[in-house]
């Protein structure tokens, strides 16, 4: 089965969920088409029976009766068209609602590796733009293609009722238009595919530009960014113009031309024969020309929707490509038992890219109530250890256990249920402060929220805000200072009462006063919990039970602060650099700052 057939079959699967609504709409459509096509036949009857010399002249009551029937049919067609249009359009919206929810739900099941290599804007484009394009397919297909096909079928039935010889002549038109459509689809698909790709690239670039706007402006990259965006925009424009040329040539233009020529031929040949031999009545000729003219409107409607249909199939392919990615089901973990919190890494090796190990044979243990700190230069593997513990990635070798149980045997929700995490760059959601702490968890009461904020020292500044705990926070919390955002994220982690607390450089972006508040709070909240800390500011981990010094993915030193300082190794050098102290002459740390930095990097 090729991809196009597969995509069409899967789209049909979504539609079949509402098969009864669609069947009812199509039944109404058949009634509406029949009522509309009855008009020319009534006109033919009036002409042949009441307005020609061969008909019964002057029977105006019969004429008025037929006109009333004509008006009644138009009214019935109007009501049926409204009803079927509403049913089909609302069904299309329901189908896309289901598809969008499937896509959003599946994104939460996809491994993080996908997001490492995919710009956020492209993911947003799949959920927003591509599903909208698929919606256009359902709405245009059900509202135009199906309608047009039923209209064409009804028209040809009427033509055969009028005259089979004339109808057989007109049967040459559908194959001719089908060939033209095939040529149209072949040439326009290339341009539409490029247009959708460029739109996705533009969305990704816009998202990135907004996120890093301060960097762009600080480094005067506005012009370069604009030029890069213009390149994408121009490429999309050029391909869109090419697609419009194909559309203009093969849609209304060619259909209208063929329609006019066919109508002229019918009038010239068959009309002339009718006048010469009286083989056809004036009424039949009028009705036939009326029906013939109606053939081209559905054809034009189908041509008008070909672009939308192609765009939708391209978008559907992208949507289904995400839905086809392997993911793990989001399982319920309400009954997950609270672990004691003994974390153990046993000879763990891991690589984001095959052959480029970022962790090599990592082994350590963190017991309940202990604080284990990970230190090292950027790229040494600190965050990778946390990512593995949280189940964002799977180790290539080795085993990670909690209370002796391999975490690979746990669902991700069960694994993370009793974990709390605070990141270096805290993220606050749009909403009030209390919801940012509780994340709308019904088990976390307002009293628990207030207690968590108080424990981290945030209650003082929160209660001074105009609306206190109901103070609205814009997305990312840009109206608060970095220290205030960090305190709220600490309160969020503590409100969930984790047995394992992960601090990923959580004190790197706060001032000394706020750091003191957090340090005092951590001494309380870490009691009875396993706490793992990634730290750049070594002064914040002096009281840690165990400090692991990483270098190029390996643990090169381990011990508490005093033990590591006594070694006068890598940790000693890092600590001296940050404190600005000068040890005895001859010590590696007695060199200049630049010399010491170079020595550490070269180790």
Q: Are 511 and 531 in contact (CB under 8 A)?
A: no
Q: How confident is the model at residue 1 (pLDDT cuts 50, 70, 90)?
A: very low
Strand partners for 500: 419, 530
pLDDT at 547: 95
Share of the chain above pLDDT 90, in %: 15
Tell me if 469 sits within 8 A of 432, measured CB to CB: yes
Structure tokens at 37: 């096509």
Question: Where does the pLDDT of residue 572 fall: very low under 50, low under 70, confident under 90, or very high at 90 and above?
Answer: very high
List CB contacts of 457: < 8 A, sequence separation 6 or more: 487, 514, 517, 518, 520, 521
Asked if 510 and 518 count as a contact pair (C-beta separation under 8 A), the reply is: yes
The CA–CA distances, whole Å, from 540 to 73, 111, 504, 520, 522 equal 84, 33, 13, 11, 10
pLDDT band at 377 (very low <50, low <70, confident <90, very high): confident
| Residue listed under structure tokens 């007695």 | 590
What band does 142 get if pLDDT is binned at 50, 70 and 90?
low
3-state SS assignment for residue 430:
coil
* H/E element, 516: helix 512-525
> Long-range pairs for 537-540 at CB < 8 Å and ≥24 separation?
537/507, 537/508, 537/578, 538/375, 538/571, 538/574, 538/575, 538/578, 539/578, 539/579, 540/507, 540/515
Helix (H, G, I), strand (E, B) or coil at 328: coil
Residue-wise pLDDT tens digits, 27-57 = 888 888 888 888 777 887 777 776 665 555 5
pLDDT in tens, 231-246: 999 999 998 888 878 7
Pair of tokens at residue 31: 């009634």
Give me the half-sphere count of Cα atoms (radius 13 Å) on the Cβ side of residue 530: 18
pLDDT band at 473 (very low <50, low <70, confident <90, very high): confident
* Structure token digits, residue 364: 């350590």
Instruction: Rank 123-137, 168-182, 372-386 by mean pLDDT and report only the highest.
Output: 372-386
Mean pLDDT of the 493-515 span: 75
Instruction: Kindly report the backbone phi and psi dihedral angles of residue 439, in degrees, each rounded to the nearest multiple of 5, phi listed first.
Output: 50, 35
Give me the pLDDT at residue 344, please.
95
Report, as an integer, the average pLDDT of 73-101. Answer: 88
Is pLDDT at 590 greater than 50 in this prediction?
no
Mean pLDDT of 270-284: 61
CA 297 and chain centroid, separation: 36
* Selected residue with higher pLDDT from 526 and 276: 526
pTM (global) more than 0.85: no
Residue 311 has pLDDT above 70, yes or no: yes
Distance between CA 202 and CA 478 in Å, rounded?
25
339: nearest Cα among 271, 402, 250, 277: 402
pLDDT at 332: 61
The pLDDT assigned to 373 comes to: 93
Across the range 530-555, mean pLDDT stands at 89
Cα separation, 239 vs 192, whole angstroms: 7
Is 52:282 a contact under the CB 8 Å cutoff?
yes
b/e burial code for range 563-584 (CB count within 10 A of at least 16 → b): ebeeeebbbbbbbbeeeeeeee
Residues above pLDDT 70, as percent of the chain: 85
Provide, for the chain, the percentages of residues in helix, strand and coil under a 3-state DSSP scheme, each rounded to the nearest 5. 65, 10, 25
Q: What is the pLDDT of residues 279-309, one digit of tens each?
A: 556 777 777 778 777 888 888 778 777 777 7
299's tokens: 């054809």
Cα gap 261→264, rounded to integer Å: 5
What three-state secondary structure class fits 431?
Answer: strand
The average pLDDT across 125-133 equals 80
Q: Given a cut of 50, is residue 384 above it in pLDDT?
A: yes
- Mean pLDDT score of the chain: 80
Q: How many residues does the chain have?
A: 603
Mean pLDDT of 72-92: 88
The stretch 70-99 carries a mean pLDDT of: 88
Give yes or no for residue 341 having a pLDDT over 50. yes
Question: For residue 597, is pLDDT > 90?
Answer: no
Segment 63-67 mean pLDDT: 83
Domains of the chain: 3-323 (1.20.1560.10)
pLDDT band for position 511 (cuts 50, 70, 90): low
**Confidence category of residue 347, pLDDT binned at 50, 70, 90:** very high
């Amino acid at each position: 089965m090729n991809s196009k057939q597969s995509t069409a079959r899967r789209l049909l699967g979504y539609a079949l969920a509402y098969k009864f609504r669609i069947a009812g709409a199509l039944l109404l459509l058949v009634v509406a088409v029949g009522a509309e096509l009855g008009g020319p036949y009534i006109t033919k009857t009036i002409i042949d029976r009441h307005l020609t010399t061969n008909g019964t002249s002057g029977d105006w009551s019969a004429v008025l009766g037929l006109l009333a029937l004509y008006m009644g049919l138009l009214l019935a067609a109007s009501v049926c068209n409204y009803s079927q249009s509403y049913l089909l359009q609302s069904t299309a919206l329901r189908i896309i609602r289901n598809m969008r929810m499937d896509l959003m739900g599946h994104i939460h099941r996809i491994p993080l590796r996908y997001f490492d290599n995919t710009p956020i804007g492209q993911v947003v484009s799949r959920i927003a733009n591509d599903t909208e394009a698929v919606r256009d397919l359902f709405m245009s297909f059900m509202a135009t293609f199906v309608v047009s096909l039923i209209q064409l079928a009804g028209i040809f039935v009427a033509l055969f009722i009028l005259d089979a010889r004339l109808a057989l002549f007109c049967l040459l038109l559908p194959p001719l238009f089908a060939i033209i459509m095939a040529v149209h689809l072949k040439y326009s698909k290339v341009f539409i595919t490029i247009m959708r790709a460029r739109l996705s690239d533009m969305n990704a670039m816009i998202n990135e530009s907004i996120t890093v706007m301060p960097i762009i402006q600080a480094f005067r990259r506005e012009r370069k960014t604009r030029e890069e965006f213009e390149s994408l925009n121009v490429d999309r424009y050029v391909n869109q113009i090419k697609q419009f040329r194909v559309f203009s040539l093969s849609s209304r233009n060619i259909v209208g031309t063929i329609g006019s020529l066919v109508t002229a031929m019918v009038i010239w040949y068959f009309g002339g024969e009718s006048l010469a031999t009286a083989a056809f009545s004036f009424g039949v000729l009028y009705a036939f020309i009326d029906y013939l003219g109606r053939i081209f409107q559905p054809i034009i409607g189908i041509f008008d929707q070909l672009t939308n249909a192609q765009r939708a199939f391209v978008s559907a392919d992208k949507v289904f490509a995400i839905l086809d990615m392997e993911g793990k089901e989001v399982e319920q973990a309400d009954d997950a038992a609270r672990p004691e919190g003994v974390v153990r890494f046993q000879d763990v090796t891991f690589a984001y890219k095959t052959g480029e190990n970022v962790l090599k044979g990592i082994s350590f243990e963190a017991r309940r109530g202990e604080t284990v700190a990970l230190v090292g230069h950027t790229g040494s593997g600190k965050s990778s250890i946390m990512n593995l513990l949280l189940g964002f990635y799977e180790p290539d070798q080795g085993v990670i256990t909690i209370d002796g149980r391999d975490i690979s045997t746990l669902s991700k929700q069960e694994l993370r249920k009793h974990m709390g995490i605070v990141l270096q760059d805290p993220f606050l959601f749009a909403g009030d402060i209390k919801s940012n702490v509780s994340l709308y968890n019904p088990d976390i009461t307002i009293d628990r929220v207030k207690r968590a904020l108080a424990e981290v020292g945030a209650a003082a500044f929160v209660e001074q805000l105009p609306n206190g705990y109901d103070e609205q926070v814009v997305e990312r919390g840009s109206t608060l200072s970095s220290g205030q955002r960090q305190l709220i994220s600490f309160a969020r982690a503590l409100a969930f009462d984790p047995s394992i607390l992960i601090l990923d450089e959580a004190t790197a972006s706060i001032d000394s006063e706020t750091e003191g508040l957090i340090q005092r709070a951590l001494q309380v909240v870490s009691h009875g919990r396993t706490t793992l800390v990634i730290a750049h500011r070594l002064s914040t981990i002096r009281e840690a039970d165990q400090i692991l010094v990483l270098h190029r993915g390996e643990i090169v030193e381990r011990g508490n602060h005093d033990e590591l300082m006594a070694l006068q190794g890598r940790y000693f050098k890092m600590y001296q650099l940050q404190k600005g102290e000068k040890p005895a002459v001859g010590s590696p740390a007695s060199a200049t700052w630049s010399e010491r930095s170079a020595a550490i990097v070269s180790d």
